Structure 1
Amino acid sequence: MGLWPGWVQPWQVPFGDAVDAAPKYVVSSSLTDVDWNAELLDGDLVTRIRDLKEQPGRGLFVGGVTLPAALARAGLIDEYALLVHPVLAGHGPRLAAGLADHLTLSLVQRDVFRSGVTALRYRLTDPGGYDT
């Protein structure tokens, strides 16, 4: 779409173009403005995410720890895609911190890469008491 820095390899350009073109939604308690084809979500986050989920498309992808935990508590996550790296940090935020109940998941896909990274995709099979 645009000019890429010199360190970008030709094989990376299709991925970069796809990410660049995709609409992005930002949730922040400190930002007042965003760029890069993004929209700042404000107001009632649960309502805004429910509305976005009803739009046509391939779904929403959420990163981080705090936001996914809030969306899980609201019953708004249907699938979990996890990348497990062969590194133990020993500290930092926990993915499921703050969940009051368990979620039952079913493995949908597993891919192991030469780097040792394992990509896991799980589908929610039982809301575990959360309202949906």
Structure 2
Amino acid sequence: MKKSSGLDSIIDFCSKWCSSREKPVLFLILFISGSCLGRPLVLEDNLFSYSTHDGKNIHLGISFIYPFVKDKSTWPYAKDVMYWEEWPVRHPFLLFGGLNSNNDQYLSLRQSLNADFSNSEVIRNMPVRYPLLWISGSN
């Protein structure tokens, strides 16, 4: 039996999990953005360098969702039943993930997305509205 990689494990989880949610894209983005917030809060540990015993980590989660944030028409699962047209916006995971992995693609995509959203559901589900305030001088 082939041992699955962390990314295979994330894809397997997502295919099962997304099929049972009304807003899978929103919840995945919210979960990954929230996970990224642990890094600025826990300064003595870099949560971006943490991996589970089976290889799951924040970087794999970001690399999984990134292509769909870049082009949501490629999303292979059911669309969110509400607010599909409102996403994506300037999600904090793109900033924190881009800075922690030195990934200019994440930072460029973030810059290209809407930062001036007014939909109450988007605002309610944005874990950090002003993520630049969470960035210290020492990354």
Q: Please indicate, yes or no, whether the TM-score normalized by the shorter chain is above 0.5.
A: no
Q: Is the strand fraction higher in 1 or 2?
A: 1
TM-score (normalizing by structure 1): 0.29
TM-score after normalising by structure 2: 0.28
Q: Which has the higher helix share?
A: 2
Bigger relative CO (Cα 8 Å, ≥ 6 apart)? 2
